[in-house]
Amino acid sequence: MNLIVKVIFLTLLTIPNIIFSQELRLAVVPKEENNPFFAASRDGCVAAAKEIGNVQCVFRGPISVDVRQQDKIISDLINEGVDGIAIAVSQSDFLASNSVQKALRQGIPVITYDADFSQESLNKYPNLRAAYIGTNDFELGRALGELLKVYRPNGGNIVIQTGRPDSPNLNLRVMGVRSALSGINYDTPPGERLSGERGWREFSEKPLYNFGQNDRAERDLKNVLSTYKRKGIDAFVAVGGWTQFVDSYTEVVGPHKQALLNQDIILIIADTDDRQLDYLRDNLAHGNVGQKPYEMGRQAILTLHNLIIGESVDEVVHVPMTICTPKNYAACTK
């Protein structure tokens, strides 16, 4: 019996050498690298890797939102032998049925951050991902709508800007905006176009889709600001920070600053990057509802590490939001 105990003990001693002595390579795959939001998630990823000590953060994504490029990057990372992958999902069905299946076949743990798979994909593939870390996207959209109601309590004509029409997390945000304004609980994202509920109407038949292209988002905002009086548009709500991630935002919005001060048109935009807080300070927007991308990146690495060493993890971790206005911009994210 003593011999058996010694063999078991010696065997257990070798396991840490295998799991913990070798550096783990954990990948974080954003929707796009060229975005301050995801750059902050990279910083959280790197910080968590240093915190653990034997982990390398591999941050890699497409330059701009491109689901096929993102899928190829995931496949390449699998070929390189990464030990775990966290994905900000750009298009649910495509990733779920391609590169992620490859990861699962090879036993590589997969989690999502910022943007989860759609409920349809999760139903189709019950073991698709082990955890989701990010904002409650429906509640973020609802917060955008509630913030707008502070400025327009009696309703108005609204333009909603979003990214891809097949982005699960953005569709939840759009549904949250529509629910807050209409008072209706919709069954399926992105909800229904506002057509007079509680005084709210959407100017266009569909949201303005920019497909994750900041310059396209900027052109859409510029067009709205140039025509809102003639078209009777009262508010512009963006469920992502695209327009404010371009250096020329001040040039586009600055000429309309007095109109914003007069609340002739209301600008409510998602995310609270430092430059976005500067725009609030300068009264170039009325409000921002932000997330905590640094913490998402940090929690993604910690969660992947826990999965690999066999510890239990929460299936869903919602990171708190921040609500910022010209009145509280200096302290809202602290």
pLDDT one-digit tens code per residue, 281-312: 999 999 999 999 999 999 999 999 999 999 99
Average pLDDT over residues 318-325: 95
Q: For 85, list phi and psi in degrees, rounded to 5.
A: -140, 130
Average pLDDT over residues 98-103: 98
Q: Which helix (H) or strand (E) holds 208?
A: strand 208-209
Average pLDDT over residues 252-264: 98
pLDDT one-digit tens code per residue, 170-216: 999 999 999 999 999 999 999 999 999 999 999 999 999 999 999 99
State the DSSP string of 217-284.
HHHHHHHHHHHHHHHT--EEEESS-GGGGSTTHHHHHGGGHHHHHTTSSEEEEE---HHHHHHHHTTS
User: What is the spatial distance between Cα 130 and Cα 303, in angstroms, rounded to a whole number?
Assistant: 9
Percent pLDDT > 90 in the chain is 90
- pLDDT confidence of 334, banded at 50, 70, 90? confident
Average pLDDT over residues 233-257: 97
Token output for 291: 């997330």
- pLDDT confidence of 12, banded at 50, 70, 90? very low
pLDDT, averaged across the chain? 93
The predicted pLDDT at position 21 comes to 55
Token output for 177: 């905006």
Token output for 263: 């609340």
pLDDT of 20 over the 70 cut: no
Q: Which residue has the tokens 């991902």?
A: 129
- pLDDT confidence of 219, banded at 50, 70, 90? very high
The predicted pLDDT at position 136 comes to 95
Q: Which amino acid is at 230?
A: R
The predicted pLDDT at position 10 comes to 42
Q: What residues contact 82, with CB distance under 8 A and at least 6 apart?
A: 25, 26, 27, 58, 108
Q: What domains, with CATH codes, occur in the chain?
A: 19-135+293-320 (3.40.50.2300), 137-290 (3.40.50.2300)
- In this structure, the dihedral spanned by the alpha carbons of residues 228, 181, 288 and 286, taken in order and rounded to 10 degrees, is 40
Which pTM was predicted?
0.82
What are the strands of the beta sheet with 110-113, ordered from one edge? 55-59, 24-29, 84-87, 110-113, 132-134, 316-318
Q: How many helices (H) and strands (E) does the chain have?
A: 13, 13
